[in-house]
Chain A
Amino acid sequence: MGRYLVRRLIQAVFVLIVISAITFFLFWATPANPALLICGRNCNAETVAQVNATYGFDQPLVVQYGHYMQGLVSPGGRTIGSEGNERNCPWPCFGESYQNGIPVWNSIKDAFPSTLWLALGAAVLWLLAGVLLGLIAALRKGRFIDKLSVGLALFGVSFPTIVFGYLLLFLFIVKLKWIPFPDTANAALFTVGPVKWLQFYILPWITLALVFAALYTRITRANMIDTMNEDYIRTARAKGLNERTVVFKHGLRSALTPIVTIFGLDVGGLLGGAVITEQIFSITGLGKFSIDSVLSNDLPAIMGVVLFAAIFVVLANIVVDVLYAVIDPRVRLS
């Protein structure tokens, strides 16, 4: 187990290095010219050359990449800025934004809590709704409630998030005024109090959870129907167990195993930012941050947010694999 984890973590580091290289070189393969962006309106050849020297754009790409990675690998971070104006960028150094000079790591740290709360709240919501609906549908297969859940699930997967989110916003905030217009851009639980915090997040949660809840309903339903036809369920009944034990202890345990895998990966993926939902509700999380970075060709910000999101995806994969082995005794980690 310990050796397995060490090996997986080493693999994860390699994956992250490959991702960083791909992002870096892909950026420079586009016609983007950051020097022009930075020097602004009164640009001439001289100022561009100055910017190139300050940011090191005149050096070979490999050297630039090496310099960038130094900030992530060396415990002391790295130095940035031109001669005479050098400053230390402490570890983990994702560089400074070309746009406003703010260290990217600080922006990520600021944006992450909103993304985290958005993802976790939505995850709880879709897991509860999806598993519950799927379970009821499977146990009442072919009846009205089953057809209703399958219909709802179809509606959920096919309804575009962007339309659904704006509909919720329009209906509950603008039209019915049940929820006040969010005046804090980034509601933190401890500064605004639980009521405002909930009011701020409830619609984003529902928006984000809809698609996932629909998918989980379908997966749970299908798995549960399969499981309840297994021979070991018949054995459990033949022992004289009551139906509740048969369904929840013997059935649900097997049916939910694949859900654990998907759930881990989904949450891991969302911790890198939920672009559309954050955009609709003006949540200044990682999703909005990444959109802004991409639209403004801000390489350090793009690198930062890609690597940060990749870390969660890679970690989620490891966690899911370990959890799977814990749940299913037939799975051996090796």
Chain B
Amino acid sequence: MTESVTSAPPADTRAGKPFLEVKDLQVHFPTDDGLVKAVNGLNFTLERGKTLGIVGESGSGKSVSSLAIMGLHKGSKARVSGEIWLDGAELVGMSVPEMRALRGQQVAMIFQDPLSAMHPFFRVGDQLTEAFLVHNDTPKAVAKKRAIDLLDRVGIPSPDKRFYDYPHQFSGGMRQRAMIAMALMCDPALLIADEPTTALDVTVQAQILDLMKDLQKEFNSAIILITHDLGVVAKMTENVVVMYGGRVVESGSVRDIFYRPEMPYTWGLLGSIPRVNRSGDGRLKSIRGTPPSLINLPKGCPFQPRCDYQDHVEGASCSTELPELLQIGQEQHRVRCHIRSEQRKQLFIEQIKPSL
């Protein structure tokens, strides 16, 4: 199970190895109710300067996987297995102090809710410089200059004054900008953005996304963008991983996912995007049912209980056998589904596409 969803490998990788490679990542949490299998065999690769989108419902394992890359499960009860290779270093087996040295420095994270993700008692500026001073043995003045530069760079007006403000004195959009500035303090090579715009209104959302794109060009960082908003994915990413029940159910380039999706779950996600020019009766579709319990995952395809297309498969393999994530054609497009590929293409063109 070593599939990759990247386009041609760029020149700056060592010995052809991708910058970030996640291999068969599993994250399980033992709880009183049983073992919560949050992530079950996640695989992807990512190069510097590129953006990977991870989409899926709440509880599909998106955030848990990103926290695993940050090593934030270390020391907790979570059981993490598999391999995460970042720039030649393996993160899953890495010791806590080594991982700590990487955090914030090589890998930084932008969190979802910038109000609760910043400490209410410390000045914004101090929280920024703290991120810099952990990894750099420099005078405070250097850190302060860098913080003010970055606050300016992310579009905070009069940053030298705002440096002394507390988080509650910032608006929601400004707080998210400050969060981004905090993540960028040490020029991280990999930036994980966990639903960075979910808490923001649409205009601010667009500004923040543009800002992230600009900064990515400037710093040549790799970005993992975790979201359930397919609009954000379309705007920001080159490659997409669709997760469901802790597994990848479809992955490929952003064009594969939006124009040639083959997995019924992806169809459902696409059908639930509101569009101004929607044809037909104009109603938004939702995926019936609820996400599966991560303690008691379905035996076969995780999506089977909610799938409207399982009668296109002969026999009962949908409910008994986990379909493999198989490559389609020559490209990086991979799908986990028992329905035959030709039939899926036909179903998409005949039934799904007209209603999108």
- Judge whether A110 is part of the interface by a CB distance below 8 angstroms: no
B118 within 8 A of A: yes
A67 at the interface (CB under 8 A from B): no
Q: Which of under 10, 10 to 19, 20 to 34, or 35 or more describes the interface residues of B?
A: 20 to 34
Say yes or no: is A327 at the interface (Cβ < 8 Å to chain B). Answer: yes
B113 touching A231, Cβ below 8 Å:
yes
A238 to B109, CA, bound (A): 7
CA gap between A328 and B167 in the complex, in Å: 12
Given A232-B118, A234-B117, A327-B121, A240-B135 contact (CB < 8 Å):
yes
- Distance to closest chain A CB from B44 (angstroms): 21
Known: A238-B109, A240-B100, A330-B168. A232 touches B120 (CB 8 A): yes
Partner of B101, one of A230, A235, A237, A240: A240
B residues within 8 A CB of A254? 119-121
Please judge, given known A-B contacts A231-B111, A329-B168, A330-B168, whether A238 and B104 are in contact too, CB under 8 Å: yes
Point out the residues of chain A lying under 8 angstroms from B104, CB to CB: 238-240
Q: Which residues A214-245 have CB closer than 8 A to chain B?
A: 230-232, 234-243
* Cα(A327)–Cα(B166), bound, Å: 12
Say whether B168 contacts A232, CB under 8 Å.
no
Instruction: Check if B273 is an interface residue, CB within 8 A of chain A.
Output: no
Contact A238 B70 (CB under 8 A): yes
Contact of B134 among A234, A240, A250 (CB under 8 A): A240
Query: Shortest beta-carbon distance, A54 to chain B, in Å?
Result: 61
Of all chain B residues, which has the CB nearest A232?
B119
Say how far B329's CB is from chain A's closest CB, in angstroms: 39
Which residues of B are found within 8 Å of A243, using beta-carbon distances?
Answer: 75
A177 at the interface (CB under 8 A from B): no
Q: Is B193 in contact with chain A by the CB < 8 A criterion?
A: no
Interface pair B130/A241, CB less than 8 Å apart: yes
Q: Does B43 count as interface, using CB distance less than 8 angstroms?
A: no
**A232:B116 contact, CB within 8 angstroms:** yes
A109 within 8 A of B: no
Residue of B nearest to A328 (CB): B121
**Pair B105/A240 contact, Cβ less than 8 Å:** yes
Q: Which of B70, B100, B166 contacts A330 (CB 8 A)?
A: B166
Given contacts A240-B135, A241-B130, contact A234 B103 (CB under 8 A): no
Other-chain contact of B130, A237, A239, A253, A328 (Cβ < 8 Å): A239
Contact bitstring A240-271, B, C-beta under 8 A = 1, else 0: 11110000001001100000000000000000
Least CB distance, B58 to chain A, in whole angstroms:
16
Closest Cβ neighbor of B108 among chain A residues: A238
CB within 8 Å of B: which A312-331 residues: 327-330
Q: Are B113 and A253 in contact (CB under 8 A)?
A: no
User: How far in angstroms is the closest Cβ of chain B from A116?
Assistant: 32
Contact B131 A239, beta carbon cutoff 8 Å: yes
B130 A232 Cβ-Cβ under 8 A: no
Query: A242 vs B103: C-alpha distance in the bound complex, in angstroms?
Result: 10
> Are A328 and B72 neighbours in the complex by a CB distance under 8 Å?
no
Q: Is the CB of A232 within 8 A of B117?
A: yes
B72 x A234 contact (CB < 8 A):
yes
Mask, B127-154, CB within 8 Å of A = 1, is: 0001100110000000000000000000
Closest to A238 in B: B109
Known: A237-B103, A238-B104, A239-B131. A329 touches B121 (CB 8 A): yes
Contact check, A329 vs B119: say whether CB atoms are below 8 A apart.
no
A329 and B166 within 8 A (CB): yes
Query: Would you give the shortest CB distance from A124 to chain B, in whole angstroms?
Result: 25
A280-312 CB mask vs B (1 if < 8 Å, else 0) is 000000000000000000000000000000000
For the complex, is B102 an interface residue (Cβ under 8 Å from A)? yes
Which A-chain residue is minimally distant from B132 (CB atoms)? A239
Smallest beta-carbon distance B129→chain A, Å: 11
Q: Is the Cβ of A235 less than 8 Å from the Cβ of B119?
A: yes
Q: Mark B9-41, 1 if CB is under 8 A from A, else 0.
A: 000000000000000000000000000000000
Which residues of B (218-257) have their CB < 8 Å from a CB of A?
none
A243 to B96, CA, bound (A): 10
Q: Is the CB of A235 within 8 A of B111?
A: yes
Asked whether, in the complex, the Cβ of B119 is within 8 Å of the Cβ of A236, the reply is: yes
Q: Which of B105, B118, B121, B135 contacts A235 (CB 8 A)?
A: B118
Enumerate chain B residues within 8 angstroms of A234, measured Cβ to Cβ.
72, 111, 117
**What residues on B are CB-neighbors of A329 within 8 Å?**
120-121, 166, 168
Chain B residues near A240 (CB-CB < 8 A):
100-105, 131, 134-135
* B131 partner residues in chain A, CB cutoff 8 A: 239-240
Are the C-beta atoms of A239 and B134 separated by less than 8 Å? yes
Residue of B nearest to A230 (CB): B116
List chain A residues, Cβ under 8 A from B119: 232, 235-236, 250, 254
CA distance in complex: A241, B100 (Å) = 7
A230, A237, A241, A328 interface centre (most CB from chain B within 10 Å): A237
User: Once bound together, how far apart are the Cα atoms of A254 and B105, in whole Å?
Assistant: 26
Chain A nearest Cβ from B185, distance in angstroms: 8
What residues on A are CB-neighbors of B134 within 8 Å? 239-241
State how many angstroms separate the Cβ of B86 from the closest Cβ of chain A.
Answer: 14
Question: B130 to A330, Cβ gap below 8 A?
Answer: no
A328 to B108, CA, bound (A): 28
CA distance A25 to B314 in the complex (A): 91
Q: How far is the CA of A241 from the CA of B126 in the complex (A)?
A: 14
Given known pairs A240-B135, A242-B100, the reply for A231 and B116 (CB within 8 Å) is yes
Q: A230-B116, A234-B117, A240-B134 are in contact. List 10 more A-B contacts (CB 8 A).
A: A232-B119, A234-B72, A235-B182, A238-B70, A239-B131, A239-B134, A240-B105, A241-B100, A327-B121, A328-B120
List 5 A–B pairs whose Cβ atoms lie within 8 Å, in order of A's numbering.
Answer: A239-B131, A239-B182, A240-B103, A243-B75, A329-B168
Which A residues have a C-beta under 8 Å from some C-beta of B? 230-232, 234-243, 250, 253-254, 327-330
